Structure 1
Amino acid sequence: MRGTKYKILALLKQSKAIVSGESLAKELKVSRTAIWKSIRDLEKLGYQIEHLANGYRFLSSNVLEAEEIAFDALLAENIFIEKQIDSTMNAAKVAGMNHQATPALFLTETQTGGRGRYGRSFFSPGGQIYMTLLLEPNRTFEELPQYTLLTAVAVASAIDEVTGKTCSIKWVNDIFLNGKKVCGILSEAMSDFETGQISHVTIGIGLNFAIPNEQFPEELQTIASSLFPKGAPTITRNELIQKIWRNFFELLDGLPDTTYLDYYRNKSFVIGKIVSFTQRGITYSGKALRISDAGELIVQTTAGEMTLSSGEISLSAIDGKQLK
């Protein structure tokens, strides 16, 4: 029945009107029973189909689909969706070693080994957005764009544009909404030993799409949230995912234009705040002054101005509020 149910899905999507079971059966040359069973199978997969006296109507569904995400810069054949894997970052790295055509996007409904910066594991319930983009820059490390900052801008602007909400960025790689973290970004590079160039870059995004606050572990309820913590989402995951990567590739294509840095700075809620951080085993505190053109955070401490690189430190507190 797999072939039949996806043919039915395509026909329902194509029609904005109600489609009768009889017309579907005639079109596909199958029985009405086969149509009914296929509709039921589609609903089990998460598709929403309205049952009416005179037929069926497709409703907006939150099922991840390559065809709904793809656009000219990211082809459907290079988008891979799994029900459950350990980590989309791992999947992308393995694909890179196996010479997967790029750019390629790896998504999963749930992941058992999700991780953030410094290998930290994170809460990964089903129905959210877990994805990793695989790129093949073949450049030296010094020539690489600031992928983490570009991605943060792409995610923040996509959220604002498609949800009507206003999010902010915590330097360097977290997206916050209403004072709580909703998204984390992780960029990693893989080098070619023979050429000394960066052969592949993986950009991972974990985004809490729709999770009621009470479903978070107790220790996360005061610091983490989702885009839609109450009620049904007003958009699909596919719409948001496509918008994120459209924004990303537009920014990437626009380089060396660095106006995205102005957007990043305006979205940052760190500038002007007192921050605490640990560098080389020593804890410092000071006022965050600015973000440099290299994406570094400049902090005024009692020891003078300090330049913080995202690869060296992590902010531990802002204005005394502990961060995770």
Structure 2
Amino acid sequence: MTTKAKVLHLLKNNSTFLSGEKIAQQLNVSRTSIWKAIKELEKEGFRFEHQAKGYRYLPSDVLDSVEISHELSPFDTQVTVLAQSESTMKDAKLASTIDTMKPSLFIADTQEQAHGRFGRSFFAQPGQGIYMSLLLHPQKHFEELPQYTLIAASACVRAIEEMTGKHAMIKWVNDIYLDGRKVCGILSEAVSDMETGEIRSVIIGVGLNFSIPQIQFPDDIQQKATSLFPDGEAMITRNQLICSIWKHFFSYLADPTQAYFDLYKERSFVLGKSVSFSQRGTTYQGIAQSIGPKGELIVDTPEQRFQLLSGEVSLTEIDGLPSAKRG
């Protein structure tokens, strides 16, 4: 660990002021090294209170791999933080070729080519969003896999409520909404082994609008998208929300009672609503009745009952939510 990282860790874990001399003694370096480390950290966006008696850490919304790794250490997760990424999904795919069984989390301060299902673009802003992808190595056949998308969605709404008190809802199958507007999208992809037929890797991507001011959203999605803190003033840090999301995710993943499934259905605003969808070139209208054990949306239409699977169809309308497929 570098001197800079050691200084940050020490100050983060102390609520009182620490003098430069005391920090230098604890780390066995010069006071000049401490001063330089503080200056470098402040350039990166970290905040400290300066007084004659020393330095004190102030809450800073800077993505910190050390903090996140520490919080996720019970799950043995490798964490990589990038200032910028073309796509964290691509970063995870590249890493999937490395022979490791540890979960790997890739987080970017911003993305150049953020996208969701069907290649739809996802509006990204530097320092104001959460763009991350988790790489897992399940080594299972497809039918044995957990419902990763449903688990991730449940983990997101639980974390949002836990950290902010806000009541987020889920649009089947992978979008999180606040006050009728999309705040988060989830994308799951699998990489199979042709020889064994097993799923070698699964990548779960999460794009969340964290503190983008509402006025900054492009005109075409101004009424369809929002952020967790639309006034731009966040009451928590991105690190805290990231850690909460994946803690809930891993807990749900290990829970044999599948508690995530009950939460997913409870927070669904699709169930009981009139929906229309397209399948093989034909548009159908019906009532969303329930969600099956594999995450399928069960819709009753005048013609028949449909079990809609992720990737097979795209919902085109939900009663009371205009243009639900966009945003």
Short-chain TM bin: over 0.9
**1:31 CA drift (Å):** 4.2
Letter aligned with residue 222 of structure 1:
Q
Tell me how far apart the structure 1 counterparts of residues 124 and 208 of structure 2 sit (CA, whole Å). 9
* Alignment partner, residue 290 of structure 1: 290
What is the RMSD of the two structures over their aligned residues, measured on CA atoms?
Answer: 1.8
| 1:116-154: CA deviation from partner (whole Å, max 9, x where unpaired) | 101222211112111111111111111111111111111
* Alignment partner, residue 260 of structure 1: 260
* Alignment partner, residue 59 of structure 1: 58
Structure 1: tracts of 5 or more residues without a match = none
Matches within 5 A, 1:58-207: 58-70=57-69, 71-75=72-76, 78-127=78-127, 128-207=129-208
Tell me how far apart the structure 1 counterparts of residues 2 and 252 of structure 2 sit (CA, whole Å). 39
Aligned length: 320
1:258–1:54 Cα change, 3 Å = closer
1:261–1:29 Cα change, 3 Å = closer
* Aligned partners of 2:209 and 2:227 also within 8 Å: yes
1:12–1:98 Cα change, 3 Å = same
* Aligned partners of 1:133 and 1:202 also within 8 Å: yes
Question: Which of 280-289 and 21-30 deviates more?
Answer: 21-30
**1:230 CA drift (Å):** 1.6
Tell me how far apart the structure 2 counterparts of residues 131 and 180 of structure 1 sit (CA, whole Å). 21
Identity among equivalent positions (%) equals: 51
* Alignment partner, residue 227 of structure 2: 226
Tell me how far apart the structure 2 counterparts of residues 294 and 82 of structure 1 sit (CA, whole Å). 34
1:294–1:8 Cα change, 3 Å = closer
Tell me how far apart the structure 1 counterparts of residues 161 and 13 of structure 2 sit (CA, whole Å). 29
Tell me how far apart the structure 1 counterparts of residues 6 and 97 of structure 2 sit (CA, whole Å). 35
**1:231 CA drift (Å):** 4.7
SS of the aligned residue for 1:242 comes to helix
1:170–1:245 Cα change, 3 Å = same
1:19–1:116 Cα change, 3 Å = same
Question: Which of 34-43 and 124-133 deviates more?
Answer: 34-43
Matches within 5 A, 1:237-256: 237-255=238-256
Letter aligned with residue 153 of structure 2:
A
* Alignment partner, residue 20 of structure 1: 19
Tell me how far apart the structure 2 counterparts of residues 199 and 99 of structure 1 sit (CA, whole Å). 11
* Aligned partners of 1:115 and 1:121 also within 8 Å: yes
Tell me how far apart the structure 1 counterparts of residues 125 and 18 of structure 2 sit (CA, whole Å). 35
| 1:85-125: CA deviation from partner (whole Å, max 9, x where unpaired) | 11111111111112244211111111112111012222111
SS of the aligned residue for 1:110 comes to coil
**1:22 CA drift (Å):** 4.0
TM-score (normalised: structure 2): 0.92
* Aligned partners of 1:48 and 1:58 also within 8 Å: yes
* Alignment partner, residue 47 of structure 1: 46
* Aligned partners of 1:134 and 1:203 also within 8 Å: yes
Question: Which of 286-295 and 2-11 deviates more?
Answer: 2-11
**1:8 CA drift (Å):** 2.4
1:297–1:21 Cα change, 3 Å = same
**1:176 CA drift (Å):** 0.5
* Alignment partner, residue 216 of structure 1: 217
Letter aligned with residue 263 of structure 1:
L
1:98–1:160 Cα change, 3 Å = same
* Aligned partners of 1:272 and 1:287 also within 8 Å: yes
SS of the aligned residue for 2:307 comes to strand
